[in-house]
Structure 1
Amino acid sequence: MNKDTSDYLSDIIELLLDAVCVVDAKGTLLFTNPAFETIFGYAPEEAINRNMLDFVYPEDRAKTINAINQIVVNDQHPRFENRWVRKDGRVVHVLWSVYWSKEKQVRVAIAYDITEQKNLEQKLIYMAGHDPLTDLPNRSFLTTQLEESLSIANTISTVIAVLFIDIDGFKQVNDIHGHGAGDKLLKTIAMRIRHVLKKEDSVGRLGGDEFVVILNSIKHKRDVIEMVDELITEICQPLIYNDAELIYSPSIGAVLFPEHYGDAEYLIQCADKAMYKAKYEGGNRMVFYNDGIKLPGAKNTG
């Protein structure tokens, strides 16, 4: 670098939109540029002479130390991501590019704020796994949740119940009152199911008027019966739409694991069969799955 160029270097650093900082071998901040304050909220006098790790989100400190060791010990020049906590308490996602000077025993780091990008990624991930109408997990995400529950249940020998809920009268609600009424009914049922479930349990919407509940909080078959009684009572609370009371009720099929052993899809299918048995018996009730359930039509697959 010639002298003319070096004369402009400090001005260039001052104008950068990315944060620049210099840190010594002990992790103490020696220099920060104006963008550092813009991104993290700390003026130079508030940051300089403090340890860099003081600003790192606590859960990211271990991986930050590991990345620094890779730079210093192995003479690498990696890029890595971590989170910092702004002066106002907000969390900032940061992409770092770091250079270690052996001669001067300092790290020169450039930070790029990727918070907006990370938030968008998280939003897209959430949307991919959730039903937009009810905000419940969709079939794909719910199946993953159930597989995780089954894995835990296998490890610690606990009982899980899977409930398949179908809403009797849903088509009539749509036909008589319109799709606005149907949407309101589905959103209300989703809210009511969530209200009854314990924090260990989960519920998702498979589509249409079909919901699946995973009960991780039970110990005995009677616990399922008590929970379903609560669910039916809550779901069937009156619901008014345009001054008209909507008429509906739930048909519920239940299957117990490990009494019936299988993967997530198998258990959902078993609960589905039991639900159709409840529907054929008049609805507004629950039926437990057993291997002897025989139903007419395409839903009876064994």
Structure 2
Amino acid sequence: MHVDLRALYPKLIHLMLDTVFVVDENDRIVFVSDGCQSLLGHSADEMIGTLITGYMHPDDLADTRASIQRVMNGQPHIDYRNRYLHKDGSSVHILWSARWVEEERARIGVARNVTALMEAEAELRFLAHHDPLTRLTNRSLFYDRLASELKAAHRNRSHLALLFVDMDKFKNINDIHGHAIGDRVLCVAARRLAGCVRETDTVARMGGDEFTVLLTNIQSVDAIAAKVEWIHKVMNEPLGTEFDGIQMPSCSIGVACYPADGEDADTLLNHADTNMYRVKRRRPIAGDKPALGGGIPA
């Protein structure tokens, strides 16, 4: 039995999960396979006759035009990535394989939706430096930032403060209400801490219910004391009604100042950690000021 393969080609093209485009030298779409519906939300009838540049993400337009010129100069581009706009307004990451056909004076391109892959890659890059639960900076990135800020402080003869924050008796929440509730409380604590600092500062989760806060360009001891008091105030605010009456744990905060309490990351962290446990044992009453390092103007 003879099979006319040429007659099957159009059917095969429309069965492809990727989308096939044919675009003339003026950027006008002359053919697009049915895959465009799932790729960009438009039907083939809607796209044929329109300019392909009209679907490109504005931020990628200049770079995409350079790729188009490369292809039209006879250099196939088989691994080009850019973004297009879906009909619903969302961005679609596309991996292209394209070449120029001189006889037809047209570009042939095959587009693959790699949005999920790009998002997964971005998430992996994020998680390499952030805590997966709270989305805060993780221990590794915090050490890097602390080292960098210490160099800047030494160079600029400026001061910084390191806070070690521990949630008091947090284990009781896990034991009584379960780890799922405990995780939600940790996320609330993380958001509150992050909301207490400037963009130039850093909040990190070091593990469990322990957090660190790096305050840069500190002008006075009073500024540190005010920040610690503010953190206590914010952290002690009641949890929402969705927590069904669970009380937000208080926190103990240890402080270390550069350069008075140390000039390297490990020394400062150890000092702040020791200070925090001293505060926890002392159980200061409301209004007590934390023990702060010297060497900073009052």
- Flag whether TM exceeds 0.5 (same fold): yes
Task: Label 1:17 to 1:185 Cα distance change in 2 as closer, same or farther (>3 A).
Answer: closer
Once the two structures are TM-superposed, the CA of residue 50 in structure 1 deviates from its matched residue by 3.1
The equivalent of 1:287 in structure 2 is 291
Q: Following the alignment from structure 1 to structure 2, what is the Cα–Cα distance between the partners of residues 38 and 243?
A: 47
Quote the sequence identity (%).
29
* Residue in structure 1 matching 2:254, options 252, 255, 266: 252
The equivalent of 1:295 in structure 2 is none
Task: Label 1:286 to 1:258 Cα distance change in 2 as closer, same or farther (>3 A).
Answer: closer
Once the two structures are TM-superposed, the CA of residue 120 in structure 1 deviates from its matched residue by 2.9
> What one-letter code is carried by the residue in structure 1 that aligns with 2:291?
V
The equivalent of 1:9 in structure 2 is 9
Once the two structures are TM-superposed, the CA of residue 158 in structure 1 deviates from its matched residue by 7.1
Q: Is the 8 A contact 1:274 1:288 kept in 2?
A: no
Task: Label 1:257 to 1:49 Cα distance change in 2 as closer, same or farther (>3 A).
Answer: farther
The equivalent of 1:272 in structure 2 is 273
Q: Following the alignment from structure 1 to structure 2, what is the Cα–Cα distance between the partners of residues 39 and 203?
A: 39
Alignment of 1:46-57 (within 5 A): 46-57=46-57
Deviations 1:4-46 (A, max 9, x none): 4333322222222211111223323222111112211123343
Matched, 1:220 2:219: yes
SS in 1 for 2:92: strand
Task: Label 1:199 to 1:13 Cα distance change in 2 as closer, same or farther (>3 A).
Answer: same
Instruction: Return 5+ residue gaps in structure 2 as ranges.
Output: none
Q: TM-score, normalised by structure 2?
A: 0.75
SS in 1 for 2:116: helix
Q: Is the 8 A contact 2:163 2:253 kept in 1?
A: no
Answer with 19-28 or 129-138: which moved more.
129-138
Once the two structures are TM-superposed, the CA of residue 77 in structure 1 deviates from its matched residue by 3.5
The equivalent of 1:230 in structure 2 is 230
Matched, 1:113 2:113: yes
Once the two structures are TM-superposed, the CA of residue 145 in structure 1 deviates from its matched residue by 4.9
> What one-letter code is carried by the residue in structure 2 that aligns with 1:97?
S
- CA RMSD, Structure 1 to Structure 2 (Å): 3.9
The equivalent of 2:61 in structure 1 is 61
Q: TM-score, normalised by structure 1?
A: 0.74
Instruction: Return 5+ residue gaps in structure 1 as ranges.
Output: 292-302
> What one-letter code is carried by the residue in structure 1 that aligns with 2:219?
H
Once the two structures are TM-superposed, the CA of residue 132 in structure 1 deviates from its matched residue by 4.1
Alignment of 1:146-161 (within 5 A): 146=146, 160-161=160-161
Q: Is the 8 A contact 2:67 2:77 kept in 1?
A: no
> What one-letter code is carried by the residue in structure 1 that aligns with 2:290?
M
Task: Label 1:247 to 1:75 Cα distance change in 2 as closer, same or farther (>3 A).
Answer: closer
Answer with 190-199 or 91-100: which moved more.
190-199
The equivalent of 2:24 in structure 1 is 24
Alignment of 1:66-105 (within 5 A): 66-73=66-73, 75-105=75-105
SS in 2 for 1:197: coil
Task: Label 1:175 to 1:110 Cα distance change in 2 as closer, same or farther (>3 A).
Answer: closer
